[in-house]
């Protein structure tokens, strides 16, 4: 007998993700699953999102980390509801964890929830959380070869942020090479260049967020 552990885990997760998705739709809330390597700048990108859309969108943040509360405390300091999930060694968030976080948010008072997944370019890509959009951040300091090496995550996202663009001239990051590789995997995905330090690209990031948050009825993804 072969025990299909992984298949069963993913099937159970998908069922719970569909429940999360329906719950968001019932309350007319959108939810972004933000994924990236450790240190790519996820929290800074979320803080930019808060700063530049808080007058138009009602936001909440779900912070996924193996350990520590550093990130949720930073978000709470901006007067935004923040739920910290500590996975205690787990390498990704699951739909069950998100269901539990949603229990702690008043969905009727929100337009958009941003989930900061655990810093990892591999495992989070396999676990649907019930989100309405997926985003990956690649920072220029990581090198332009990431889409070659982690194709799954780049193939499935709805948008890509190239972060720390202010460091471009100090790195060997070839933006054209990166864009070409992404195009082969995910032809129409928007690629936004951003610097959380000097504000370059913040307008494009804000517009993408507003469009995501005000999109029509949520379609359940296949």
How far apart are alpha carbons 136 and 153 in whole angstroms? 7
Pick the stretch among 49-57, 101-109, 163-171, 187-195 that binds a second copy (CB under 8 A): 163-171
Binding test (CB under 8 A) with a second copy, winner from 93, 121, 129, 209? 121
Task: Give me the least distance between CB of 155 and a second copy, in Å please.
Answer: 11
- Residues 181-200, one symbol each (x = binds a second copy by CB under 8 A, - = not), give --------------------
String of DSSP letters for 77-146:
TTT--EEEEE-TT-SS--HHHHHHHHHTS-GGG-SEEEEE--S-SSGGGG---S-SEEEEEEEGGG-TTH
Q: How far is CA 127 from CA 27, 116, 186, in A?
A: 23, 14, 19
Q: Which stretch binds a second copy (CB under 8 A): 18-26, 37-45, 54-62, 107-115?
A: 37-45
Rounded Cα distance between 171 and 131, Å, is 33
- Using the rule CB under 8 A, is 5 a contact of a second copy? yes
Q: Which residues of this protein are in contact with a second copy, per CB under 8 A?
A: 3, 5, 37-40, 65-68, 70, 89, 91, 118-123, 126, 139, 141-143, 145-146, 148-152, 164, 166-167, 170-171
């Amino acid at each position: 007998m072969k025990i299909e552990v992984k298949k069963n885990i993913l099937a159970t997760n998908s069922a719970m993700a569909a429940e999360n998705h329906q719950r968001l739709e019932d309350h007319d809330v959108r939810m972004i699953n933000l994924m990236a390597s450790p240190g790519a700048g996820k929290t800074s990108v979320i803080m930019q999102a808060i700063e530049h859309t808080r007058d138009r969108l009602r936001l909440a943040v779900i912070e996924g980390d193996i350990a520590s509360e550093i990130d949720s405390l930073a978000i709470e300091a901006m007067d935004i509801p923040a739920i910290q999930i500590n996975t205690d060694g787990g390498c990704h968030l699951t739909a069950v964890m998100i269901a539990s976080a949603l229990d702690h948010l008043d969905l009727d008072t929100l337009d958009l929830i941003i989930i900061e997944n655990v810093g990892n370019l591999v495992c989070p890509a396999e676990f649907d959380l019930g989100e309405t959009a997926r985003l990956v951040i690649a920072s220029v300091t990581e090198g332009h070869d990431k889409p070659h090496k982690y194709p799954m995550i780049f193939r499935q996202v709805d948008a890509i942020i190239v972060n720390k663009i202010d460091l471009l001239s100090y790195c060997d990051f070839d933006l054209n090479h990166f864009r070409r590789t992404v195009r082969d995997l995910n032809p129409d995905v928007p690629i936004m260049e951003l610097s959380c330090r000097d504000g370059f690209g913040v307008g494009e990031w804000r517009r993408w967020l507003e469009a995501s948050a005000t999109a029509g009825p949520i379609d359940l993804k296949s």
